[in-house]
Structure formats: C-alpha cells, structure tokens
Amino acid sequence: MPVYQHRIGVQNYQFEDLAALMARASPERSGDQLAGVAARSAQERVAAQMALADLPLNRFLHEAIVPYETDEVTRLIIDGHDAAAFAPVASLTVGGLRDWLLSDMADSESLRALAPGLTPEMVAAVSKLMRNQDLILVARKCHVQTRFRGTIGLPGRLSTRLQPNHPTDDPAGIAASVLDGLLYGSGDAVIGINPAADNVPQVVRLLQMLDAVIEQYEIPTQSCVLTHVTNTLQAIERGAPVDLVFQSIGGTEATNRSFGLDLALLAEAREAALGLQRGRVFDDGLRGRNVMYFETGQGSALSANAHHGCDQQTVEARAYAVARRFEPLLVNSVVGFIGPEYLFDGKQIIRAGLEDHFCAKLLGLPMGCDICYTNHAEADQDDMDVLLTLLGVAGVTFIMGIPGSDDVMLNYQTTSFHDALYARRVLGLRPAPEFEAWLQRVGVFDPRQAAHLAPLADAMPAGFAQLLPRS
C-alpha cells in the first residue's frame, strides 16, 4: 500500500494510507480530534490537501478506506460503480475534478450523467479542497427530482418537512403544530413525526391520524413516522397507511449494525412500501415510487466506534451510497444534532452542512438539511440563519419546519415555519408545485405573489379548524 507524502519547505509530511490522507486533509472539527485522526497542525492539513489534490481519481477504485472483504457498504460502492459514467473524468486528479466542477463545462445535465460514476470517497476528497463558496456553486448546479404525491427538488423550489413532534404524542398538540405549519406553507416534503412512544401500536395510531388529515383536506404531501424500519414493516403488516419508510443510516456496515439494520432489510422495507402503491399517478401516467426517507449525520460512525479510523465527513459521504441504492424521496443531514463532541461550534456546523449537501447532490441524492444545534454547542440561531441562507442559495431540497424553531420533544434548536418563509421570500423560492397550488386554492398563499401569505391568512381557511380535536 503506498505512502502518500508532500513536502513543505524542509518538512516532508507522510500519510500512511488513503484514509489517513483524507482525514488529515479535512477542515478542522472536534469529532476528528476526538477520534485522533485530525491534522496535528495547519501545515500538516495543507500538506495533506496538496497531496490529495495530486491524487488520481481512479486511485479510489483500487484502495478502499474500509476493507472490501468485511464491509457491505464498501462492496456496494465498488460493485455498483458505473465505469461508463466515470469515463469523462477518469483521467483527472482530485484537484482536476475540482477545477472541472467549478467550470462552465460542468452544467446540470453533465453532473446528472456523472453522478453514478462518482464514489463517495471521490466527492468527499474534492470537497476537502473547496471553499464554502465552491461547495455552494457546484451544489446549486445539481438538480435532483423525486416524486411521491408531489414533485420535490425542481429548480427554484424549497420544500419543508413539517415536524409536529410532541413530548407525549398528544393528538391535540400534534394537530395544533400541523395546523400552524400548514398556515405558514410548510409540509410539502413530508409531515413527519418523531414518536415519543416508539412502539408499533403508537406508530399505527400516528400514521392513521396523519393520513386522515391528508385525505380529508386533499393535501398533496406524504406522511412519515420516524420509527425503526422493523416497526414500519410491522405497521405495514397491520394495514397501516404507510407513505414513506424512514431509517437512520451510516457509512459503514458496523454503523448500520449499531442501528439494527443491513442492506437486505432496507431492500425488504422498500419493496413492502412500493407494494402499497400509495403514490400519486402523475400526468405522465407514472406513479410516484420514491418511498424511502433517510437521515444521516457526521459523527454517527464514531459514536458507534464503527469509523475504521476514517474522518467523519468521509464516512458520512459513504452513507449517501447506501441512500442512493434505494432511490429515496428525501435524504436529510441532521447536521448539528449529535452535539459539540463532533461539530463544536457554529463555524464547524456551517461547514459540515455545506459539505453534506454538496456531496449528496453530486452523488445524485435529493438532499435536505436539518439546520440545527444542541443547547450545549457553541452555536446560536444567528449561525443557523447563516447556514439556512447559504443552503438556500446552494439549492437545498428541503429544510425543517418546527414551531418556534424549538423541538420540545427532541430538545434541540432548528428552523421554524417563519424561517422557511424567510428563505423562500429573500431567495425567490417556492414550494413544490402541487403543494403550492393547494396552498393557493385553500387560501393560505396569495396566488398573486410567490411564497406570500394571503391577506386574510390569519383568519384560518374554511374547515381548517376541524384539524384541532374537540375537547
């Protein structure tokens, strides 16, 4: 196995393998320091980045950072690589790929065609050579569209997950949050609940409640209860109205085992959800078939002691190979949720959010971001405003919508219904087209102005009061 090196002045920096080179080239973050893989100085980081820039891209096809023999995610990446799609950039180095991505030759169509030919390690490597504005510029050119009851990811659109969590799963509390979100135009990506009581009967009750709302008001969106995939399979067996199958995923086989899953289980769940045929039949005669919703986050592999000595951003990118295999409707980096042990402050959270979005979009995924932090992190809502704005410019697929930015069940800070309106207004973005038409039809949005509340929106459109359970 080759030793990678680069000389700066009289100092020759050596990196024992590709995983070490990638780790030392990563921008500073607390998780890599905790793992003992971070660069030991700014000079070493620069040396690693320069050595990485000179590395041929095809090296990633011959040296696995996690062993092929013992890791099914590595086997998925290598065995599923599309050599024909890779051919246009096969002769480039990592630095050469960066230059090409930033050029006008890399347009939306060429990036869509290239996606199957890129491995997660390639896109993680090139991200380590990029400034924030580079990550934004390239991600903005990547357009990834998915469909279930609406069309997610069209250019000029920003969707939201309406997240009506409640600390006791109280139906009235959940309904109030759903109503609040709908009145601010949130919910076109999904109405998704993290259940406080994570058992199958409660999951079924919550799914039935959300389905009743969607059906009664003919809302062109989808529901999801964010429970373990095995619970969702049991819910399907009990006849529950499952739209999307949720699961947290990681970038190594061992990480996924810590979540209680493997690739075969995800395949089984996807087939079960497809068999329900709950997606809308669109004008082209095709039914919406994107039935998976995945969440990821830098640091999950390290927290499970399943990172194989790799840096957290590279392992995170490998999770996107898992997601890509199952053609999801939505993928979401819960970027600051794990805590300051992995992303210490606002600067690290902002950088990680832009990296995750860039890598996933370049790999062909419908990437959103839970723009968030925990209360013990060195971050605040101003940092989240910055990341929200930058991701909006970068073309993020969706963000969270939560009452007052404060999730009272999960106890973390994220983005609110008002934040989504802000981003749509200042950046000229709109909801998914089917959902936008519904908002205008029921009187929430003003049909004369994109992403603006109707003049009488505070007066609650007719019939919406029925959402609130009667005491």
d(CA 241, CA 275): 12
* Whole-number pLDDT of residue 471: 44
Per-residue pLDDT band at 133 (split at 50, 70, 90): very high
Average pLDDT estimate for 436-457:
89
Q: What is the pTM of this model?
A: 0.96
Q: Note whether 37 and 305 are within 8 A (CB).
A: no
d(CA 288, CA 277): 8
Average pLDDT estimate for 8-37:
96
3-state secondary structure of 152: strand
* Whole-number pLDDT of residue 458: 57
d(CA 289, CA 148): 6
| Residue 447 predicted with pLDDT over 60 | yes
Q: Which amino acid belongs to residue 256?
A: N
Average pLDDT estimate for 391-415:
95
Sheet holding 398-401, edge to edge: 223-225, 190-193, 159-162, 398-401, 367-370, 330-334, 292-296, 245-248
d(CA 24, CA 47): 9
Q: Note whether 317 and 123 are within 8 A (CB).
A: yes
* Whole-number pLDDT of residue 470: 53
Per-residue pLDDT band at 460 (split at 50, 70, 90): low
Per-residue pLDDT band at 455 (split at 50, 70, 90): confident
* Whole-number pLDDT of residue 105: 96
Tell me the HSE value of 471 on the side-chain side, using a 13 A CA sphere.
1
Q: Point out which residues pair with 8 in neighbouring strands.
A: 11
* Least confident span in 111-115, 161-165, 444-448: 444-448
d(CA 358, CA 105): 18
Rg (CA), the chain: 22
Region of 452 (left: φ > 0; alpha: ψ -120 to 50; beta: rest) is beta
DSSP 150: S
